[in-house]
Amino acid sequence: MSVLDFITRQLTDDEWMNDAACKGMTHLFFPTPAERPQTRERREDAAREVCASCPVMVTCRDFARDQHEYGLWGGESEDERHSAGYRLIAPIGVRARQSG
Ligand code: SF4
């Protein structure tokens, strides 16, 4: 994370996170190192189910798009954000997954 990203994040209104339905479920929203594709699919499906009932889903999705976040936010994976034009800062795995 760059210094500019850090400062931007500090200035971002993140009170909406208090209403997140995913508290304590970080393992569902971010991959483990060398996660297999089938495991990723199952994990992201489970995360999307949590997001579907979350009261801050749209705010969360928009935050992740603006902040170039990794992981699944607001029911949207980093691949989906990338494809929608919200580029990751360093899309290490996305290009490999999307070129297959
Ligand atoms: S939309 Fe999903 S990732 Fe975002 S706060 Fe809600 S449960 Fe968490």
Closest residue to atom 8 of ligand 1, CA basis? 22
Pocket test for ligand 1, best of 15, 56, 63, 80 (most atoms within 8 A of CB): 56
Query: Scanning the structure block, which residue is given the tokens 């500090």?
Result: 10
pLDDT at 46: 98
Which residues constitute the domain of residue 62?
3-98
pLDDT at 14: 86
pTM tops 0.85? no
pLDDT at 3: 62
Instruction: Give how many domains the chain has, as a whole number.
Output: 1
pLDDT tens readout for residues 30-82: 999 999 999 999 999 999 999 999 999 999 999 999 999 999 999 999 999 99
